[in-house]
């Protein structure tokens, strides 16, 4: 039988399922219709009454298919092997395995030290536990091997095998979506934790464990759920600090990271409790920083008027920044070819470059900067995007950076 806390939601059909295979017994169906639920184990156990199962009736016995289990919870089951026939059994071995699509995990195996004898009326009990780490179909396989009776003359009795199978589905209780956004030298990590279960969940805490290259600059900015215990807080304050997520709803969190760099930022660890305190724990995979463009030089506007008149030329100072420890030669600043870029660089762009469409830049020293002044003309009023001027390197024939930004045209 499965060990778990009771649920607040009572389902009559589930209760009938736990009584096992009742629909295969016409007398049992009539008894249920009259309001009486018989106390008998399943027919698949080949037992005549609940007394043969040492008082364990069908309501406590694990059905072939049962329940809902969520990823991150601990599956716990009480297994009892009982001897109800009149003859002794020797060399009793028991093996319990949990099979998934990816692997098979042995939860109990006494093959190395089998039970010497199991007399009539005796039983062997044990408890298995397993942290559910995969979603999908799970099969609990319980196999017993034993020897009974006398074999043929001069031959040892042949061992008997009794396999039983129990299946259940593991579902994902939470849907976690993350987004990273780089702002200067810092990085902001947004996490949305959505309740995918059919009942409310209580978040114990949501903690971000950064990698050595990602330093947590500040705690959670929104929806704070600290990882520390609340032993010193009054009960009322502790209850108010808990965050309950209804089915289909979500909680949002923001972390600010400094020195994030590129690659893995860290993992989110989430702990929750379901109805009547069943606990669960999930940890996400490594969250990766948004990939940045690997470039030898960058292009940015450093002197841009607050507003410009329509159809009047205005100057803009651009800055080229070297990002390598070697001199840069053959750099060019040019406008994209018509039709080869998005509308900001096309022939009908709201802001265009005046004069030559290409300009050669002077040689740049390692990690150096160079300012270039260009003249632009705005053709339409409103907040308009700057032309997508390109910084290119003619030697390898590559695009290093593209100008981005906007200007107010009045």
pLDDT digits (tens, 9 = 90+) for 237-256: 555 566 788 888 888 888 88
Q: Which SS3 state, helix, strand or coil, does residue 73 take?
A: coil
Which of 7 and 126 is assigned the larger pLDDT?
Answer: 126
Contact 97, 106 (CB under 8 A): yes
Query: Closest Cα partner for 333 from 398, 397, 390?
Result: 390
Three-state secondary structure readout of 179-194: EEEEECCEEEEEEEEE
Contact 128, 108 (CB under 8 A): yes
Per-residue model confidence (pLDDT) at position 396: 58
Dmax over CA atoms of the chain, in Å, equals 113
Q: Can you read off the two tokens belonging to residue 31?
A: 């008894």
Q: What is the dihedral sign for C-alpha 370, 375, 377, 382?
A: positive
Q: What is the dihedral sign for C-alpha 13, 16, 17, 18?
A: positive
pTM over 0.75: no
Kindly tell me if the per-residue pLDDT of 30 is higher than 80: no
Kindly tell me if the per-residue pLDDT of 166 is higher than 70: yes
Per-residue model confidence (pLDDT) at position 56: 53
Fold classification of 297-409 is: Immunoglobulin-like (2.60.40)
Q: How many DSSP H helices and E strands does the chain contain?
A: 3, 27
CATH 2.60.40.1230 positions along the chain are: 175-288
Look at the block and give the residue holding tokens 């080229």.
Answer: 320
Q: What is the dihedral sign for C-alpha 35, 39, 44, 49?
A: negative
CA dihedral of 84, 87, 90, 96, whole degrees rounded to 10 = -20
Which of 216 and 5 is assigned the larger pLDDT?
Answer: 216
**Facing residues of 190 across strands?**
179, 254
Domain at 175-288: CATH architecture:
Sandwich (2.60)
Which of 291 and 90 is assigned the larger pLDDT?
Answer: 90
Per-residue model confidence (pLDDT) at position 338: 52
d(CA 137, CA 75): 14
Per-residue model confidence (pLDDT) at position 31: 46
Contact 386, 406 (CB under 8 A): yes
Q: What is the DSSP letter of 387?
A: P
Chain centroid, CA 395 distance in Å: 45
Per-residue model confidence (pLDDT) at position 128: 92
Per-residue model confidence (pLDDT) at position 3: 62
DSSP string of 312-334?
-EEEEEEEEEE-SSS-B-SEEEE
Domain at 12-171: CATH architecture:
Sandwich (2.60)
d(CA 58, CA 209): 46
Q: What kind and span of H or E run contains 236?
A: helix 235-241
Contact 79, 140 (CB under 8 A): no
Q: What is the DSSP letter of 364?
A: B
d(CA 89, CA 83): 8
pLDDT digits over 260-282, tens only? 566 788 899 998 887 767 788 88
Q: Which SS3 state, helix, strand or coil, does residue 212 take?
A: coil
Q: Can you read off the two tokens belonging to residue 82?
A: 């009982």
Q: What kind and span of H or E run contains 15?
A: helix 12-18
Query: Closest Cα partner for 270 from 289, 290, 250?
Result: 250
Per-residue model confidence (pLDDT) at position 104: 93
CATH 2.60.40.10 positions along the chain are: 12-171, 297-409
Contact 115, 124 (CB under 8 A): yes
CB atoms within 10 A of CB 357: 11
pLDDT digits over 175-213, tens only? 899 988 877 667 888 889 999 888 888 888 888 888 876
């Amino acid at each position: 039988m499965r060990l778990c806390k009771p649920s607040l939601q009572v389902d009559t059909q589930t209760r009938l399922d736990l009584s096992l295979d009742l629909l295969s017994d016409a007398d049992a169906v009539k008894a249920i219709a009259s309001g009486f639920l018989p106390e008998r184990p399943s027919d698949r156990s080949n037992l005549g009454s609940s007394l043969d199962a040492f008082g364990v009736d069908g309501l406590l016995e694990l059905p072939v298919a049962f329940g809902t289990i969520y990823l991150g919870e601990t599956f716990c089951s009480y297994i009892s092997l009982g001897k109800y026939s009149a003859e002794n059994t020797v060399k009793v071995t028991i093996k319990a395995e949990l099979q998934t699509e990816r692997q098979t995990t042995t939860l109990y195996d006494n093959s190395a030290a089998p039970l010497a004898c199991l007399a009539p009326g005796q039983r062997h009990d044990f408890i298995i536990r397993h942290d559910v780490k995969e979603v999908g179909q799970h099969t609990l396989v319980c196999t017993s091997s034993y020897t009974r009776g006398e074999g043929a003359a001069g031959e040892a009795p042949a061992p008997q095998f009794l396999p039983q199978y129990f299946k259940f589905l593991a579902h994902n209780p939470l849907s976690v979506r993350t987004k990273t956004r780089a702002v200067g030298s810092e990085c902001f990590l947004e996490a949305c934790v959505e309740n995918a279960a059919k009942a409310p969940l209580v978040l114990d805490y949501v903690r971000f464990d950064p990698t050595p290259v990602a330093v947590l600059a500040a705690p959670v900015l929104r929806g704070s759920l600290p990882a520390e215990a609340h032993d010193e807080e009054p009960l009322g304050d502790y209850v108010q600090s808990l965050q309950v997520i209804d089915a289909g709803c979500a909680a949002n969190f923001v972390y600010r990271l400094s020195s994030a760099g590129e690659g893995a930022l860290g993992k989110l660890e989430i702990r929750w409790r379901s109805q009547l305190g069943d606990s669960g724990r999930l940890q996400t995979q490594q969250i990766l920083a948004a990939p940045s463009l690997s470039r030898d030089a960058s292009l940015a506007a450093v002197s841009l008027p607050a507003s410009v008149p329509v159809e009047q030329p205005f100057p803009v100072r651009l800055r080229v920044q070297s990002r390598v420890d070697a001199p840069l030669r053959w750099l060019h600043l040019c406008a994209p070819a018509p039709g080869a870029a998005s509308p900001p660089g096309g022939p009908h762009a709201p802001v265009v470059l005046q004069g030559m469409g290409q300009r050669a830049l002077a040689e740049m020293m390692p990690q150096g900067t160079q300012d270039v002044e260009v003249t632009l003309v705005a053709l339409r009023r409103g907040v308009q995007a700057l032309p997508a001027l390109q910084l290119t390197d003619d030697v390898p024939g590559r695009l290093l950076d593209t100008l981005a930004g906007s200007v107010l045209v009045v």
